[in-house]
Structure 1
């Protein structure tokens, strides 16, 4: 079955919940065992003394019915072995990295990254002697190979962390090339680094990194999956082996999402494909209008990629849709970008993306403000860049809003 069909009932049996068509919200911190032997067996699975994980429900920090149904359904989008839900996108990323990175290791990552991810790698993991080496998201396989080779000289490379499309430039990473390089360059090594890919911008409908060579995809479920700007959550989706240490650490840290948020995400998953397809259609209309506007320098919507270019070729291999988040580079600088933002009416001035409503923000002054100015310039995050997330309003109203706002620029 298609994932969009499975979202209506996969992993849930109504007869086990008084015939309720939709899962109840299980607001409990702990679960009663039928016998002491059951309790022992469940804890053996939770603690890793017995392989296979818990056979039953134990405690709210470990698992719960709403979270398990959510995880079963999330895995379907990438045909993955397993999924884990988290209290936020950053708790998903942080738990995944902590589970796989040891003090003194080296992380190779694409650039740019979401600013909080970059800060975590640099400032938080840096306290434990972890080093990092990066390559541009649009780098060629040869450039990526050179970066990995340089990283190998600094210590044990434990993680190759990708963000594709990159936030906010929309540059694509060749995940297949990275996977092939990893397999070749670490074929005889004692340790083979895991490949993590942030799939927030195009997931879960338009890209499946685990099908292109990544060991796991990480998500901010706050964005397209949640889709209504009313919750915060995250996820990791991937192979059972890659997720096993992450699950063990999540059990210790308690970074699992809560039952109510998990239930809301189950509701949202039923319409995620409808919402993402409508938003992409709207994005095409808005981006097409902006592309030829005299006050706009460039629009970085993936639908405009030249199929014969290296980025266009990656898009054809990895993506089934162009998404609805992109950057608009206006002619001028911060004053012109701010005037555009301040004069939008239907499109709201707010960070985040992937909701039903259209949003616009200024990465250099907002989400990436913590990134040093020189680093932002190096990454292509200029003062004239506006990030846009297109929602599901009528496309004519969105085009009209940008048209009137640009008159003030």
Structure 2
């Protein structure tokens, strides 16, 4: 929906880059006392000019009529729309070239809302492995309580192998969604989105289209654009790179108008949209998103190079290390514009050695989450992915010796110094 604060003509002046529009798009200062930044609209409800106007707004809000051409809809209630959220959603659409966006209270509320909207009892969800531990829990522990079952597939499985696996489980006519997290948390494993689209199309029936939903959190809105590679919906934990300062929790879903209408409707009645203060903070963060992420990626490349040659490091999981001839390299070159700022590595030894490393860091903070200005480190097997089945952890390389680092914007030499001194301590 549009409203008076939106400025539809801003794109007519020039085809500006998204980072140039993050300060202005969708906002008219003259409608807010000339404030250079959008104010925080800390209000639950909005005043109608007349009863007729209120009736008209609600007719569209509840789908009783379609919006007329050039009709500007006003504000009703902050559970339905709020200027801070509306402008934020308009700006987020620019990066992924999406038709619509909806923001949520958290990444998990975005993911769970999408799954609850497009899946019903008896349906099957095809999902990539590994995924974030919270997503894995929702798929394997929560959805089965509603008669919805998940079937996981790995990056090593071909289109034919995935198809045969689904057939062997008698689920050919039950698949309704393909959920993909790529790069995968915490191993940076890549999935070919065009193959995922083909899997979905194979199981689509007439107008009953199987939805492809991609969790793009690891790449943020800057380095990968899944909608351009066949995805129907993109989800983010906006807590991560979009927020980028470890001071908020939020999520986002993007896609075309018809699918997003369904997502927005369920969001309205679940009531899990984010509030105006968080929306304002996210708008602030979008202004520096490209600068932050670019610096983080530059730092990550240097850190990965240091780890690659360290005698106490067995293996480094970093996209920049992929080489031609590796199927993962082909996916990387096709789908991404950067190796990103996330890396993991196996320490020589096991949990004892990993914990010693974590406990002796001085600059890098031991905390879950990622994408923030400060570098963060965690132990996936006992933290973010501790609820993933032991079988899957073993299969996917989420071992006791694996450590995950989210590289921040500190000086790269200081990050490397901290890693070096922590690895040097003998136990």
The verdict on a shared fold, with TM-score over 0.5 as the criterion, is yes
Cα distance in 2 for partners of 1:104, 1:220 equals 28
**For residue 9 of structure 2, what is the aligned residue in structure 1?**
none
**For residue 36 of structure 1, what is the aligned residue in structure 2?**
51
Q: What RMSD, in angstroms, separates the aligned Cα atoms of the two structures?
A: 1.5
- The CA deviation string for residues 260-285 of structure 1, in whole angstroms up to 9 with x for no partner, is 00000000000000000100000011
Cα distance in 1 for partners of 2:243, 2:78 equals 21
Correspondent of 1:79 among 61, 77, 97: 97
Question: Which of structure 1's runs of 4+ aligned residues deviate more than 6 A?
Answer: none
Residue 141 of structure 1 and its aligned partner are, at CA, apart by 2.9
Residue 8 of structure 1 and its aligned partner are, at CA, apart by 1.3
**For residue 352 of structure 1, what is the aligned residue in structure 2?**
369
Residue 14 of structure 1 and its aligned partner are, at CA, apart by 0.6
Cα distance in 2 for partners of 1:144, 1:209 equals 20
Q: Is the 8 A contact 1:111 1:166 kept in 2?
A: yes
Cα distance in 1 for partners of 2:343, 2:162 equals 24
Cα distance in 2 for partners of 1:192, 1:150 equals 22
- For structure 2, the residue ranges without an aligned partner over 5 or more in a row are 1-15
**For residue 158 of structure 1, what is the aligned residue in structure 2?**
176
**For residue 182 of structure 1, what is the aligned residue in structure 2?**
200
Q: Is the 8 A contact 2:107 2:235 kept in 1?
A: yes
Cα distance in 2 for partners of 1:314, 1:146 equals 23
Cα distance in 1 for partners of 2:300, 2:282 equals 24
Pairs within 5 Å for 1:234-313: 234-313=251-330
- The CA deviation string for residues 322-376 of structure 1, in whole angstroms up to 9 with x for no partner, is 1111111111110011111111111110100000000100011111111232231
- The CA deviation string for residues 297-341 of structure 1, in whole angstroms up to 9 with x for no partner, is 011111111132110000001000111111111111100111111
Q: TM-score, normalised by structure 2?
A: 0.93
Cα distance in 2 for partners of 1:151, 1:272 equals 43
Residue 47 of structure 1 and its aligned partner are, at CA, apart by 1.4
**For residue 143 of structure 2, what is the aligned residue in structure 1?**
125
Correspondent of 1:328 among 336, 339, 345: 345
Report the number of matched residues: 408
Residue 148 of structure 1 and its aligned partner are, at CA, apart by 4.5
Q: TM-score, normalised by structure 1?
A: 0.97
Secondary structure of the structure 1 residue equivalent to 2:212 = strand
- For structure 1, the residue ranges without an aligned partner over 5 or more in a row are none
Cα distance in 2 for partners of 1:307, 1:241 equals 39
Cα distance in 1 for partners of 2:323, 2:166 equals 28
Cα distance in 1 for partners of 2:67, 2:149 equals 33
- The CA deviation string for residues 184-237 of structure 1, in whole angstroms up to 9 with x for no partner, is x14544511111000000011000111111001100000001000000000001
Pairs within 5 Å for 1:371-390: 371-390=388-407
Cα distance in 2 for partners of 1:291, 1:139 equals 28
Secondary structure of the structure 1 residue equivalent to 2:239 = coil
**For residue 3 of structure 1, what is the aligned residue in structure 2?**
18
Secondary structure of the structure 2 residue equivalent to 1:204 = helix
Task: Say if 2:241 is the partner of 1:224.
Answer: yes
Q: Is the 8 A contact 1:138 1:171 kept in 2?
A: no
Residue 17 of structure 1 and its aligned partner are, at CA, apart by 0.6
Summarize the Cα distance change of 1:372–1:140 in structure 2 as closer, same or farther, 3 Å threshold. Answer: same
Residue 147 of structure 1 and its aligned partner are, at CA, apart by 3.8
- The CA deviation string for residues 125-182 of structure 1, in whole angstroms up to 9 with x for no partner, is 1111111111013433333333444566265211110000001011011001211332
- The CA deviation string for residues 356-407 of structure 1, in whole angstroms up to 9 with x for no partner, is 0001000111111112322311222100000000000001111111110001
Q: Is the 8 A contact 1:135 1:143 kept in 2?
A: no
